[in-house]
Structure 1
Amino acid sequence: MNKPVRLAVESVPETLFTAREYLRMHDAGAFTDMNVELVRGELRKMMSGGFSHGALNARLIAKLITAYSATDRCLAVDLMIGIGPLTIRGADIAVVMPDVPSSGPVPPDRVVQIVEVSVTTLGTDLGEKQAEYATVGVPDYWVADVDARVMHVMRSPEGERYAEHSVVPFDQPLAVPGTAETIVVA
């Protein structure tokens, strides 16, 4: 008598990359000509932004350089931020303390502010990235919503969220953290 037999399917163990492995691959040139983040052990390819993303990024960095010019803060674009042993994020703009390492990801306790320019990534920027940055204590997190022409300004991290969250139109002044300066995005 023939009986149906169910074959046991071998489950493939989940293979996650660590931040250390990601950095070795990065330093060896594995990600040449591509932007890649490490998110909870998985590699995520990030697409380069279009003109609206790049133009707003350039305007914001110019305004923030001026606003922070009287401080010891340093600014960078496309900076790696170390979130944990399985996550390294890329920030569009980061304002950091002057004593950050010259290579590798910046430790989150050296980050003063992160700004993300969002054309197609608003859900991620206001969702998982916001939660990660709050969890590691990034004091100020801004997300520029290009389509809505507003800046989401988040301050005072508490757990996986920010206690303060305001939405400021691009044509209104924004207080620049750690300075007496304001900027207008428009």
Structure 2
Amino acid sequence: MKTLAKWSVEDYHSMIGAGVLRDRKVELLEGEIVEMSPETPIHYSTASQSSNYLREILRDKAAVRFNGPITLDTSEPEPDIAIVRLPESAYSNRHPGPEDIYWLIEVARTSLSKDLDLKAAIYAAANVQEYWVLDLADPRIIVLREPQGRQYLSEQIFRTGMLSPLTFPDLQVAVERLI
């Protein structure tokens, strides 16, 4: 059995800084540099429109980052949408970390199992309190909450109606505007 070398976040940043990963669409997941799947038009459009909608309703409450990295202990994934603490200027010299994250959103069409298994385990281990997966193949939002270890204890599915994030319980997010 072969043992793969694991990369630290610092190693990964060094490779980026040295240009080793230039022109490669990759992310660091649990110490492994993983090629990201190309985005389909519907995936990109959904993520873009959802982030714009969330920016409107979260104005002056949170920053909404689109397709940008976050830094965790052994990973630097690039969720489709990250809702993080203000001010945005805090991220001029670093990416948001677990202490900055309100919730994360991934858009899935062909990546649903990766998003619900690997990415959910990574986010739960980092104690990200809330994680939403927008399932485009079976239009619904899967809301994961209550991280414990490498899993979320609570899973809810929304197909219509309004949804309130944990950190902003008075905020009403229209499910249909996201999917």
Partner of 1:3: none
5+ residue gaps in structure 2?
none
Q: Is the 8 A contact 2:130 2:166 kept in 1?
A: yes
> Per the alignment, in what secondary structure is the counterpart of residue 42 of structure 2?
helix
Aligned positions of 1:69-88 closer than 5 A: 69-71=59-61, 73-84=62-73, 86-88=74-76
CA distance in structure 1 between the aligned counterparts of 2:4 and 2:119, rounded to whole angstroms: 23
* Corresponding letter in the other structure for 1:79: G
Partner of 1:164: 154
Figure out how many residues of one structure are paired with residues of the other and give that number: 173
CA distance in structure 2 between the aligned counterparts of 1:13 and 1:145, rounded to whole angstroms: 34
CA distance in structure 2 between the aligned counterparts of 1:159 and 1:41, rounded to whole angstroms: 18
Q: Is the 8 A contact 2:70 2:76 kept in 1?
A: yes
Aligned positions of 1:135-150 closer than 5 A: 135-150=125-140
Pairwise CA RMSD: 2.0
Partner of 1:17: 7
Higher helix share: 2
Q: Is the 8 A contact 1:154 1:164 kept in 2?
A: yes
Structure 1, residues 110-150: CA drift from partner, whole Å, max 9, x if none? 11110000111111110111111111111110000001000
5+ residue gaps in structure 1?
1-10
Q: How far is 1:13 from its partner?
A: 6.0
TM-score normalised over the length of structure 1: 0.84
Q: 1:66 to 1:113 in 2, by over 3 A?
A: same
Give aligned-pair identity as a percent.
24
Q: 1:102 to 1:149 in 2, by over 3 A?
A: same
Q: Is the 8 A contact 1:82 1:106 kept in 2?
A: yes
Higher strand share: 1
Q: Is the 8 A contact 1:118 1:144 kept in 2?
A: yes
Q: How far is 1:90 from its partner?
A: 1.2
> Per the alignment, in what secondary structure is the counterpart of residue 141 of structure 2?
strand
Q: Is the 8 A contact 2:15 2:21 kept in 1?
A: yes
TM-score normalised over the length of structure 2: 0.87
Q: How far is 1:30 from its partner?
A: 2.7
Aligned positions of 1:125-136 closer than 5 A: 125-136=115-126
Partner of 1:174: 163
CA distance in structure 2 between the aligned counterparts of 1:13 and 1:160, rounded to whole angstroms: 22
Structure 1, residues 20-77: CA drift from partner, whole Å, max 9, x if none? 1101111233333332111222210102311110111012112211221141x11111
Q: Is the 8 A contact 2:142 2:155 kept in 1?
A: yes
